Amino acid sequence: MNKFIICCAALFAGALANPAHALNVFACEPEWAALATEIGGDHVSVYTATTGGQDPHLVQARPSLIARARSADIRVCTGAELEVAWINLIVQQSGNARLQAGRPGAFDATSAVRLLERPASVDRAQGDIHAIGNPHVQADPRNMIPISRAMAARFAQIDPANAQTYTSRQADFERRWNLALVNWTRRAAPLRGVRIAVQHRSWPYLENWLGLVQVIPLEPQVGVPPSSGYLAQVMQTLRTTPARFVIRAAYEDSRPSEFIAQRANIPAVLLPFTIGGTPGAMDLFSLYDDTITRLLAGLGQ
């Protein structure tokens, strides 16, 4: 009897004294999973919903994702409608009130940066445009600084007990990141002013960062695959304004860029787009190392 009480009391005390469980993070894409780990360290437990080989727009609300969103304290996504086809459905089906839009558990990386290509008018005749701007902000590593700050602040808001850790880890990340940025910028100097063709309009942030100049996209409208007629038009443009290479993301169909590369006699450059997109893009830092290496290879360097 007494033993039972002691046992109960011990269990109860144990439950109270137990340090706060790790912050459960549901990351929509690998880059945000990596950033969450940089900021949270041991205080976060991160689940990554997609891989670098997947088009983040076309993910399905799979049972496994719903089950993992159920227990998340925060979802860390790109936002700007990139995950519009699945994330809300997952949140709704998970029955997890913490992740509902407008709550601290709904974090969009795009909310921390200024978006490019914000359309002046919104009409789907322009294709699958994103009404509030191009969502592919991870292509410019400079964006990681404001995003990491916002993420650290959000983690601190949800898990005040570890606020100090999040703040100091973010500061440490920012210091290391700034050093890496200097290095990347120096390596990427030959890319400045280089003309390129892109398969999908995923790269304005990369172009803006490295000073690449987009000559033409291989899709007539955003998200609309090219017809042969349009590809002929692309060839016409490339004859008058030659591009040095054509880039595409790891998850995209290789055929349009291979088709153009062959006919225009320029390299087709596959970029990781996110962590895991290529074997070399293993973490947040090597993602940009590999991107620059591949772009330089496209120049023949």
Partner 1 sequence: MHFSTYAASAFAAAALLSTPAHAQGADDIAALRRDMETLRQDYEARVSDLEARLAQAEADAAAARQAAERASQIDVVEGDPSAPVLSEATTPASSASPVQSANLFNPGISVVLNGFVTAASEETGAERIAGIASGGEIENPPLGLSLGESEISLSANIDPYFYGFMVAALGNSGEIGIEEAYIQSTNLPANLTFTAGRFFSGIGYSNETHAHNWAFSDAALPYRAFLGSQLGDDGVQLVWLAPIDFYLLFGAEAFRGESYPAAGAQNDGVGAYSAFVRTGGDIDVSNSYLASVSYLHTRALDRDSDGDLFSGDTELLIGSLTYKWAPNGNRLNRNFTAAGEVFFGNEDGTFNGIPVDQDRFGWYAQGVYQWMPRWRVGLRYAALGSDDPGAPLAGTALNDLGIDPFTATALLEVDPSEFSRLRLQFSRDESGFDPNDILTLQYTVIYGVHGAHRY
> Per CB under 8 A, which of residues 25..64 are in contact with partner 1?
50-51, 53-55, 58-64
Q: Which is nearer to partner 1, 212 or 295 (CB)?
A: 212
Rule CB under 8 A: which of 91-120 touch partner 1?
92-97, 100-102, 108, 110-115
Query: Taking Cα atoms as reference points, which of 128, 148, 127 lies closest to residue 137?
Result: 148
User: What x-and-dash track marks residues 1-20 binding partner 1 by CB under 8 A?
Assistant: xx-xx--xx-----------
> Exactly one of 22, 181, 235, 296 binds partner 1 (CB under 8 A); which one?
181
Contact residue for partner 1 among 45, 117, 163, 296 (CB under 8 A): 163
Q: What is the DSSP string of 27-42?
A: ESSHHHHHHHHHHHGG
Q: How far is the CB of 240 from partner 1 (least distance, A)?
A: 19
DSSP 161: G
* CA dist., res. 293 & res. 301, Å (int): 9
Minimum gap (Å) between residue 294 Cβ and partner 1: 19
Q: Three-state SS string across 166-196, please? A: HHHHHHHHHHHHHHHHHHHHHHCHHHCCCEE
Q: Confirm if 212 and 196 have CB atoms less than 8 A apart.
A: yes
Q: Within positions 224 to 263, which residues make up the interface with partner 1, using CB under 8 A?
A: 224-225, 251-253
CB closer to partner 1 out of 266 and 277: 277
Q: Tell me: does residue 289 bind partner 1 (CB under 8 A).
A: no
Token output for 30: 């690998």
Judged by CB under 8 A, the residue of 11, 13, 176, 178 near partner 1 is 178
- Binding of residue 220 to partner 1 (CB under 8 A): no
Between 64 and 240, name the residue whose CB sits nearer to partner 1.
Answer: 64
Residue 70, interface with partner 1 (CB under 8 A)?
yes
Q: Return the number of the residue (189 or 236) whose C-beta is nearest partner 1.
A: 189
Nearest-angstrom CA–CA distance, 27 and 69 = 9
Task: Order across the sheet with 44-48: list the strands.
Answer: 44-48, 23-27, 74-77, 106-108
Please provide the DSSP assignment of 3-23 as one string: HHHHHHHHHHHHHHHSPPPPE
Cβ-based neighbours of 267, under 8 Å, separated by 6 or more: 244, 245, 246, 261, 297, 298, 300
Binding window for partner 1 (CB under 8 A); candidates: 15-23, 151-159, 258-266, 290-298: 151-159
